[in-house]
Every structure is written in C-alpha cells, then in structure tokens.
C-alpha cells in the first residue's frame, strides 16, 4: 500500500487499546498491603471475593490467577474429560478452546450471529452430538448473551460455562448481572480488562459444593490455605490433600487493586458508554457507513471492546491496510480475533458451518476504548479513519 500523505496533525502519544485506569487509590491500596506483611492469598482476597459476589449477585465467587485457569477449572468441575465434546465459538481468544484441550476433550467450533457477534441457541444446537458435554458461551466484547434462552434450547445434561472475560458489569436480558445465572461463569482481570489487577480471574457460581472444590483445586488440592493455617488457631498445620490440584490462586496484592477497581467500576463503565456514543455519533456524522457490534440495550454490554465492521466495498481500503495505517498514526487498533479454526493448533478441529465467522474475520477491527479516553481522542481516531477512507474512496 502507498503511504498516505497526512492531512491532520499526528498525535505524539500512542493511543493504546485497553489502557488500565489506575488512580492514586489503587496505588495506596497496594502500598497498604505491602506494608501489612501479607501479600499472598489472605484476608484481602476474601474481602474482594465477598464484594464481587455482592456486585455480581452470585452466591459464590472463587478468585484464581487468570481467566484461562478459571475456564480450565470450570470445565474440570463439570467433569469434562477425554471423549467429551465442548462447543465453543471460533471467534474468541484461544483460552476458551484451550481449556477443553487441557482436559483431553474436543473443542467443536460453532458460528456466531453477524450483528451481536456472539453464539446463538441455533448456532450451538447445530453442533450438538451425543458426545456434547458442555458449551462455553463467550460474551464477546462484553455483550451479555441470553443464557436463559440457550438453557431452554439445550438438553439438561449439557453444562453451560460462560466466558465472561469481557463482560463484568453487563446485564442479561432479565436485568441481572453477568455471573448471576447459576452457571459457572469465568472473569478476567488481565491488564487491559475493564477491571484490571494486572492479571487474575474469578469464577462466579451458585453451587456451594463446586465452589468448595474450586477453592481446593486452585490451592494444589489442599483443603486449607496458608491464611487459614496461620490465622485460625484450631487449624492444624496438616491439611487434607484428597485430590490433585493446581497452583492457580490469586494474591492479596492483586485483590487490593481489585477492591478499589470494583468500587470505581460503574463510573468507569459510564465513561466507556459515553465514548461509544461519541464514536457512533462521529461515524454517523462523517457518513462512511461502518456498523458496530450491536447491543439491544446499553446495559447489556460492558463495552470492553468496540468492534466495527469495515467492509472493503464501503471503505475502499482493506481491513488489514486500515489497521496498519491507523497504527502508523499512533492509534492502537486491533483485531479480535483471528478465528481459532484458522490457527495451526486447531487446523484439524471439529467444526460446523462458520460462514459468518469467516465473513467477520476479514472485516472486524477493534478501535481503542477505555475509561481514560477523552472525546478528543475519539475525534482524532474518527478523523483519521475518515481521512483514510475518503482517500481510498476517491482513488476508486
Ligand atoms: C474471551 C477471552 N477469554 C479468556 C481470556 C483469558 O483471560 P486471561 O488473560 O485472564 O487468562 C481472554 C483474555 O483476553 C479473553 O479475551
């Protein structure tokens, strides 16, 4: 592609995708925990779990070291193993499908809806077989999938696990928050997520027995952890080890950040929503016809990603060229995602009809969004896009 002559002033600072919004409060909370002498998993983690449970409206929350671990453990407690099939969308981050592979199960890829970019009851039911044991629903971009409708469409013995890495704070159609469905629901607190603790994750659920098992599994299989051994005089040093577990626990340092982020989450969500509205108004005003991922109501979308469909026929420039040109203009645009069935690891995967996924794969582009962004940032991105698109259209 010929480099474009720049008409507007190039911003000097890179506008990164998913910059975390940390205030002095998070910094003070980390300092407090560091000074306390207890930075591993302890009282701060327990408090964060309680506060998350109240925010989400889920009786049980178990924190872990990542959403990747959360997905793995969630499928493990659903007894997924070799010979089982787990239906997942191909349009997702690799962790969603990898979780099934870790357990020796077979991920089966299904298609998504062209507007919500999420799985639908129809796209999942089309892949059901006698071996289907679970479905992992991805709330793509932060859009809350109607899991009640999916439950009605599936046989009772097929478990629903939710990959809510993007969707903390979003609401299902019935108004409850993602995570309160009673399914096993996995969240990410990775660096670029709406609630960030650098890394980390959590599992929300209602089944107390599964939650207790998850608490052991994240701590090597031990039925007590260091905090309870050191603080509860009636706990002997010797803990029970009945099952092989993993070292996947969270830490108090992360929980200190998470507790402040959680208090600020709704305010940060409001800013994200305003940023989306600004993008939509500006793109409409500039009149180059880009569709964004659709949400039926504002509160059903956590606005983690702002994904647009940039169709060559309408823009005159390929999505990949547009991505490179935006990056050259200091705009951290990105692609979510290259579909998993096109990756070498999954080249022999079991898959159904994936025509919508493949159509989207060539056209989707994620624009920067975050609670630290300003309207000026949005106007810069949309002006650069307008310039690039207009430049290519007039060369047609
Ligand atoms: C849809 C989805 N699922 C799972 C994950 C894994 O999250 P983590 O990085 O916390 O392991 C991510 C990470 O970005 C994701 O986007």
Q: Which atom belonging to ligand 1 lies closest to the Cα atom of 190?
A: 10
Using the predicted structure, report yes or no on whether residue 396 has a pLDDT greater than 80: no
Q: Which residue has the higher pLDDT, 12 or 383?
A: 383
Q: Which residue has the higher pLDDT, 285 or 193?
A: 193
Ligand 1 mutation pick, 188, 198, 200, max ligand atoms within 8 A of CB: 188
CATH number of 24-261: 3.40.640.10
Using the predicted structure, report yes or no on whether residue 5 has a pLDDT greater than 70: no
Q: Which residues line ligand 1 (CB under 6 A)?
A: 66-68, 92-93, 95-96, 138, 163, 165-166, 188, 190, 201
pLDDT of 260 reads: 98
Ligand 1 mean position, distance from CA 36 (Å): 31
Active site residues: 193
Q: Calculate ∠ Cα 292-293-295, nearest 5°.
A: 115
What proportion of the chain, given as a percentage, has pLDDT over 90? 83
Ligand 1 mean position, distance from CA 92 (Å): 9
* Tokens representing residue 84 in the block: 């089982």
**Distance separating alpha carbons of residues 143 and 190, to the nearest angstrom:** 18
Alpha helices (runs of H) in the chain, residue ranges in sequence order: 24-36, 43-56, 67-77, 94-102, 121-125, 147-153, 208-217, 226-231, 252-286, 312-315, 319-328, 355-361, 375-393
pLDDT of 390 reads: 82
Closest Cα to atom 8 of ligand 1: 67
Ligand 1 mean position, distance from CA 248 (Å): 15
Using the predicted structure, report yes or no on whether residue 6 has a pLDDT greater than 60: no
DSSP strand pairing (201-205 vs 184-188):
antiparallel
Closest Cα to atom 9 of ligand 1: 190
Q: For the residues 186-194, what does the mean pLDDT come to?
A: 98
Ligand 1 mutation pick, 68, 88, 136, 339, max ligand atoms within 8 A of CB: 68
**HSE, side-chain direction, 13 A CA sphere, residue 242:** 7
**Distance separating alpha carbons of residues 33 and 63, to the nearest angstrom:** 18
Ligand 1 mean position, distance from CA 67 (Å): 5
Mean pLDDT, all residues of the chain: 93
Q: Is the pTM of this model over 0.75?
A: yes
Q: Which of the four pLDDT bands, split at 50, 70 and 90, describes residue 395?
A: low
Using the predicted structure, report yes or no on whether residue 350 has a pLDDT greater than 90: no
Give the containing element (helix H, strand E) for 191: none
Using the predicted structure, report yes or no on whether residue 75 has a pLDDT greater than 80: yes
**Distance separating alpha carbons of residues 60 and 233, to the nearest angstrom:** 25
CATH number of 265-393: 3.90.1150.10
Break the chain into its structural domains and give their ranges: 24-261, 265-393
Ligand 1 mean position, distance from CA 71 (Å): 9
Q: For the residues 213-234, what does the mean pLDDT come to?
A: 83
Q: For the residues 88-92, what does the mean pLDDT come to?
A: 98
CB 135 within 8 A of CB 160: yes
What proportion of the chain, given as a percentage, has pLDDT over 70? 94
pLDDT per residue over 289-317, tens digit each?
688 998 878 899 999 999 999 999 888 89
């Amino acid at each position: 592609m010929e480099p474009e002559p720049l008409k507007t002033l190039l911003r000097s600072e890179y506008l990164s995708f998913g910059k975390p919004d940390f205030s002095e409060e998070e910094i003070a909370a980390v300092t407090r925990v560091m000074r306390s002498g207890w930075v591993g998993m302890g009282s701060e983690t327990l408090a964060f779990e309680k506060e998350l449970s109240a925010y989400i409206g889920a009786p049980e929350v178990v924190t872990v070291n990542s959403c990747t671990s959360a997905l793995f453990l969630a499928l493990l407690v659903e007894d997924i193993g070799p010979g089982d099939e787990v239906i997942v969308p191909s349009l997702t981050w690799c962790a969603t499908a990898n979780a099934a592979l870790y357990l020796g199960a077979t991920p089966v890829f299904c298609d998504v809806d062209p507007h919500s970019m999420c799985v639908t009851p129809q796209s999942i039911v089309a892949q059901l077989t006698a071996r289907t044991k679970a479905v992992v629903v991805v709330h793509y971009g932060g859009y809350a999938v109607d899991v009640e409708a999916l439950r009605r469409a599936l046989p009772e013995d097929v478990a629903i696990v939710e990959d809510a890495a993007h969707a903390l704070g979003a609401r299902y159609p019935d108004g409850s928050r993602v995570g309160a469905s009673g399914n096993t629901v996995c969240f990410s607190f990775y660096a670029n997520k709406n609630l960030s603790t650098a890394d980390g994750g959590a599992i929300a659920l209602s089944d107390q027995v599964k939650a207790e098992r998850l608490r052991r599994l994240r701590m090597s299989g031990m039925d007590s952890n260091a905090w309870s051994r050191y603080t509860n005089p009636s706990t002997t040093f010797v803990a029970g080890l009945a099952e092989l577990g993993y070292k996947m626990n969270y830490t108090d340092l992360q929980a200190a950040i998470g507790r402040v982020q959680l208090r600020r989450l709704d305010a940060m969500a409001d800013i994200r929503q305003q940023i989306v509205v600004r993008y939509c108004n500006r793109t409409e005003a500039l009149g180059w016809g880009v569709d964004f991922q659709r949400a039926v109501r504002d509160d059903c979308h956590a606005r983690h990603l702002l994904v647009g469909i940039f169709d060559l026929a309408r823009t005159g420039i390929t999505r990949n060229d547009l991505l490179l040109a935006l990056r050259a203009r200091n705009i951290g645009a990105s692609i979510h995602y290259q579909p998993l069935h096109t990756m070498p690891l999954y080249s022999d995967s079991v898959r159904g009809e994936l025509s919508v996924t493949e159509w989207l794969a060539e056209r989707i582009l994620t624009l920067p969004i975050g609670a630290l962004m300003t309207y000026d940032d949005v106007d810069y991105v949309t002006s650069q896009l307008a310039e690039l698109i207009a430049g290519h259209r007039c060369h047609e």
